[in-house]
Amino acid sequence: MFINKLNKFFIWRALVPKKIRTIIWKRVLRKSIILFFKNDTNEEIKKVIDFLNKNPLELFPYNFIFNYNAKDIKVYLDKEEQLKYVLLDDKKLYFKKRWSKFRIKKALNQLLIEQDPQSPHRYLTDNFNVNENSIVADIGCAEANFSLEIIDKVKHVYLFEANNIWSKPLKKTFEKYKDKVTIVNKKLSNFSSESTVDADSFFKEKKINFLKIDVDGNEKEVMSGLSNIIENSKQMQVALCTYHSQNDFEKYSNYFRDNNYEVEHSNGYTVFYWDKNLSYPFLRRGLIRATKK
């Protein structure tokens, strides 16, 4: 696409503000998707095109997103810690110290949209869920809204977040759950260093049986580190985000099936417009749910 090539030119990026470039990119992308799929008879795709014919481009092109409004979210201040937080199922979820109330509202609203039952980013379903025997690795947890929602249902959670800015908010969020939460401020990988932890070594005796993986495009490295655990586990559930790269859904679906997992995808499609190399066929599955029993 022309816009993809344009984004590579320094002058274009230097002279046109990022916000404006994103608006132009989304408009071009929306028109391209509508044109490409205008005669498609697949019901899932027709639903996306119907949305785009009536609305601007969204990451999740479905009407359920309009059920959420960032303005309705209340942000509180922990004066002692000087950290802002929101209430998620009556539990405090803390955010980065420097984030404004506006940014926190916007971020939480997106998180709520992501975990809507209709969302392509939804991790859990009635049939793919955690229980009192679940030992969870939340890999790429950020603020860890997912783990906070399930913390009362599971046996233990390991939180992996390489960005140390999240360290203090995570400690505050899970302060009352410290006996069943382990926070690891390193990137999960296939080797150990000052900034990484080797998955094989770390999980050797921990009996992990649920993996949630959302690592912003670093899936290859993380999955490489987890390969022995995934392939040799007798019982395992994996929720793996596949929207960051074009071929991840097909590649990892085949990988899990080759290792005797049952595989399903989440509802619908994402349009990951943050990927400036996004091209035909544009639509990506949000995540894989893989189960070995």
- pLDDT at residue 6, as a whole number: 54
Residue 118 located in a structural domain: no
Residues 228 and 233: their CA atoms lie apart, in Å, by: 8
Residues 162 and 93: their CA atoms lie apart, in Å, by: 18
Other Cβ atoms less than 10 A from the Cβ of 273: the count is 17
Examine the domain organization and report whether 186 and 41 are in the same domain.
Answer: no
- pLDDT at residue 276, as a whole number: 78
Residue 81 located in a structural domain: no
Examine the domain organization and report whether 145 and 284 are in the same domain.
Answer: yes
- Under DSSP, the state recorded for 133 is T
Short-list 198, 205, 208, CA closest to 230: 208
What tens digit of pLDDT does each residue of 188-201 get? Answer: 998 899 899 999 89
Domain count of the fold of the chain = 2
- pLDDT at residue 24, as a whole number: 87
- pLDDT at residue 13, as a whole number: 61
Short-list 231, 249, 235, 233, CA closest to 287: 249
Short-list 119, 156, 152, CA closest to 135: 156
Examine the domain organization and report whether 55 and 140 are in the same domain.
Answer: no
Examine the domain organization and report whether 252 and 161 are in the same domain.
Answer: yes
- Is the distance from CB of 144 to CB of 136 less than 8 angstroms? no
Final residue before a domain boundary, out of 60, 76, 93: 60
Final residue before a domain boundary, out of 60, 80, 98: 60
Alpha-helical regions (H) of the chain: 2-6, 10-15, 18-36, 43-54, 101-114, 145-150, 167-173, 199-202, 219-232, 248-258
Examine the domain organization and report whether 207 and 284 are in the same domain.
Answer: yes
pTM here? 0.92
Examine the domain organization and report whether 136 and 248 are in the same domain.
Answer: yes
What tens digit of pLDDT does each residue of 181-232 get? Answer: 999 999 999 889 989 999 989 998 899 999 999 998 889 999 999 999 999 9
Q: Tell me, what CATH number does 203's domain have?
A: 3.40.50.150
Show the domain range for 173: 125-266+278-292
Short-list 263, 209, 252, 204, CA closest to 234: 209
Q: Is 147 helix (H, G, I), strand (E, B) or coil?
A: helix
Mean pLDDT over the full length of the chain? 93
Helix (H) or strand (E) holding 252: helix 248-258
Q: Which two tokens stand for residue 258?
A: 């080759």
Residue 82 located in a structural domain: no
- How sure is the predictor about 2, in pLDDT bands with cuts at 50, 70 and 90? very low
Residue 34 located in a structural domain: yes
